[in-house]
């Protein structure tokens, strides 16, 4: 087990991803060194650990963890045929196309940046139909597309590129209703090897990441707040103002509250996208049900 200890004193600022290696994320905090040691020895052998000491209103330690031994996304292996057969026809059809979209995005990313995309976990195939089952498929096209994107991101079933895949899925879904629809430009070339989200998209992506963090880690963030933390920083300099979110609730309640907020955020994203492309009628057009969406996909094959 890898272990590194650092100490830091910053006014109310805590890192969610370790500033020395953003593959490590904050997993546990406590003021007692004995509790930190007890937690460390519980981790499996494939978990690397870094420990960072903070001194805010009070001193405490944070454990940052990362799974070791990850490979390239292109090297991941899974039995897709067997998994699809257990999902049901409609879910299987949509998941198969979703994975094609994901693989195309990864290939594009590797071509643009010239290096393989690293996978920090396997694809959670079983979580994908669950994400589809959680979508409310009733309502107008932009509402359904936003819910579809949100639930894919909330499940976090892909090893990376969950947000990019969700944006691509929005376009694919809306094109089954309006064949000429194309998403407005969402990325911008920083240099010959680096691409980033455009500013209008980045506002949604960053808030999405904030909501994901608060939803999954509200208890941890409440402890940080009690220790004097006011700002949590994710990688890529995404700042989370801990005073802006309700943290004092049971985890089950937080999952529900912030899942709803996340869905509303992504519906707003889709609405802005169709307005930017002069397709506001999609906000009034009935959406496709899951069965209708799956059938549209099958007619493409």
What is the residue whose two structure tokens read 């879904």?
A: 173
- pTM confidence score: 0.88
Coil, strand, or helix at residue 235? helix
Determine the distance from the C-alpha atom of residue 203 to the mean position of all C-alpha atoms in its chain, rounded to a whole number.
Answer: 14
Q: What is the pLDDT of residue 78?
A: 58
- CA pair distance 16, 221, nearest whole angstrom: 10
Let me know: does 133 contact 289? Beta carbons within 8 Å: no
Please check the confidence at residue 114 and state whether its pLDDT lies above 80. Answer: no
- CA pair distance 252, 99, nearest whole angstrom: 29
Give 201-242 pLDDT, tens digit per residue: 889 999 999 999 999 999 999 999 999 999 999 998 999 999
Q: What is the pLDDT of residue 108?
A: 81
Averaged confidence pLDDT in the chain: 88
Coil, strand, or helix at residue 267? helix
User: What percentage of the chain carries pLDDT values higher than 70?
Assistant: 85
Under the banding of pLDDT at 50, 70 and 90, the label for residue 5 is very low
Q: Is 48 left (phi over 0), alpha (psi -120 to 50) or beta?
A: beta
Please check the confidence at residue 185 and state whether its pLDDT lies above 90. Answer: no
The torsion defined by the Cα of 11, 206, 234 and 98, in degrees rounded to 10, comes to: 170
Please check the confidence at residue 7 and state whether its pLDDT lies above 50. Answer: no
Please check the confidence at residue 288 and state whether its pLDDT lies above 80. Answer: yes
Please check the confidence at residue 124 and state whether its pLDDT lies above 80. Answer: yes
- CA pair distance 213, 288, nearest whole angstrom: 31
HSE-CB for 299 with a 13 A CA cutoff:
7
């Amino acid at each position: 087990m890898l272990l590194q200890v650092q100490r830091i004193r910053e006014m109310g600022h805590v890192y969610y991803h370790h500033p020395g290696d953003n593959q490590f994320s904050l997993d546990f905090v406590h003021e007692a060194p004995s509790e930190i040691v007890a937690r460390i020895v519980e981790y499996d052998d494939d978990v690397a650990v870094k420990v960072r000491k903070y001194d805010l209103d009070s001193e405490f330690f944070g454990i940052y963890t990362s799974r070791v031994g990850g490979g390239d996304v292109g090297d991941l292996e899974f039995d897709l045929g067997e998994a699809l057969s257990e999902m049901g026809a409609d879910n299987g059809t949509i998941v198969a196309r979703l994975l094609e979209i994901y693989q195309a995005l990864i290939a594009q990313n590797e071509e643009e940046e010239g290096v393989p995309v690293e996978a920090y976990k396997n694809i959670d195939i079983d979580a994908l139909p669950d994400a589809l089952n959680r979508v409310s498929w009733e309502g107008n096209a932009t509402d359904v597309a936003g819910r579809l994107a949100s639930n894919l991101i909330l499940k976090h079933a892909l090893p990376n590129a969950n947000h990019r895949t969700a944006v691509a899925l929005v376009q694919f879904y809306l094109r089954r209703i309006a064949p000429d629809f194309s998403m407005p430009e969402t990325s911008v070339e920083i240099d010959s090897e680096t691409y980033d989200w455009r500013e209008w998209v980045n506002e949604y992506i960053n808030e999405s990441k904030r909501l994901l963090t608060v939803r999954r880690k509200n208890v941890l963030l409440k402890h940080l707040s009690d220790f004097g933390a006011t700002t949590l920083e994710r990688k890529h300099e995404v700042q989370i103002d801990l005073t802006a979110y309700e943290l004092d609730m049971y985890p089950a309640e937080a999952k529900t509250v912030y899942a709803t907020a996340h869905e509303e955020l992504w519906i707003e994203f889709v609405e802005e996208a169709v307005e930017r492309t002069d397709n506001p009628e999609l906000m009034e057009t009935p959406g496709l049900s899951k069965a209708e969406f799956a059938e549209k996909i099958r007619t493409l094959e």
